[in-house]
Amino acid sequence: MTWEPSASIKNLQQRALVLQQIREFFAKRQVLEVETPLLSQGTVTDLYIDSIAVAMYGKTYYLQTSPEYAMKRLLAAGSGSIYQITKAFRQDQSGRIHNPEFTMLEWYRVGFDHQALMDEMDELLQWILATAPAQRFTYREIFLRYLAMDPHAVSDEELWQCVKQRIELASEITDRDTWLDLLFVNCIEPNIGREQPVFIYDFPATKAALAKIRLDNPPVASRFEVYFHGMELANGFHELQDGNEQGERFERDLQLREQQGKTIIPIDQRFLAALTHGLPDCAGVALGIDRLVMLAAQSTAISEVVSFDFARA
């Protein structure tokens, strides 16, 4: 057992500078800083994200995996463009670039779509990391570039054969979206963002989550992800405004959770009520600050840029 911090004082000074730069960036743009609760009675239904439950006053609350729902409630109440620097929590995520407790920057820009938000995200990375302007590829373009495959058009059989040929699997997987994720993580992600950040956008509609679906041929989700130096840094959406459609997506998530034997999560009804009241047209993005500081400090692990990592907490 050790009492010392996992990060050096030099890296903690770098972290403080990054936080200062973030606040300066949004102050110049007159974006309001807000705070929302870490504990809530509702949480995300996403199949691949597990919240940490806390028993209080005879009820179950959840440490938030993201401030998204509460921030959208503020947007629906007329806050205008907002940002937040906050702690977030996720089960079973610990390693070189994961910590169960982590720091997140999330912001929403009223009147932006995901393309405009990519522009601003690129400006933030140049401001903090002095990066070259980012490259941009659609989800289809990046699969064609590295796997010679159109992810929207490839048959299930061809896709599954590609997965088996390229990735060693512990068990057979039957979900098309999981196959695409496996190929992206193992065959594409290691090759992108080495020299400059890379934005991947226009994901398959099945990966929309809380993003709008654009009725192209085929339909695509108006969302993006940002990669740099082998890490995913951020995930952004042109936000869905339809409360009924969002509720239906949550219900589908719960069906998938039940099929896989996962905990059934209560849907955040306050969030859905805010969407029904009226969310302004906006785009939002969540960025991992710990990973951003890793890049700024040229560190190789999150433990090197947080005061006390999970093992020392």
Helix (H) / strand (E) element for 254: namely helix 243-259
At 92 the pLDDT is 72
The rounded distance, in Å, linking the Cα atoms of 150 and 313 is 45
Structural domain boundaries enclosing 207: 9-134+196-312
- In a domain? residue 224: yes
- In a domain? residue 63: yes
Beta partners for residue 238, in sequence order? 283
- In a domain? residue 159: no
- In a domain? residue 121: yes
**HSE of 305, CA atoms in CB hemisphere, 13 A:** 27
The rounded distance, in Å, linking the Cα atoms of 120 and 115 is 9
The rounded distance, in Å, linking the Cα atoms of 254 and 267 is 9
- In a domain? residue 178: no
- In a domain? residue 150: no
Helix (H) / strand (E) element for 89: namely strand 82-89
Decide if 106 contacts 84 (C-beta within 8 A).
Answer: yes
Computed on alpha carbons and rounded to an integer, the radius of gyration of the chain in Å comes to 19
Nearest to 242 by CA among 219, 205, 275, 282: 275
Crossing angle of helices 114-129 and 289-297, in 10° steps, is 40
CATH code for the domain of 211: 3.30.930.10
Tens digit of pLDDT per residue, the chain (313 long)?
Answer: 889 999 999 999 999 999 999 999 999 999 999 999 999 998 999 988 999 999 999 999 999 999 999 999 999 999 999 999 999 999 876 889 999 999 999 999 999 999 999 999 999 999 999 999 999 999 999 999 999 999 999 999 999 999 989 988 766 777 899 999 999 999 999 999 999 999 999 999 999 999 999 998 899 999 999 999 989 999 999 999 999 999 999 999 999 999 989 988 899 999 999 999 999 999 999 999 999 999 999 999 999 999 999 999 9
The rounded distance, in Å, linking the Cα atoms of 296 and 278 is 38
At 170 the pLDDT is 61
- The count of domains in the chain is 1
- In a domain? residue 240: yes
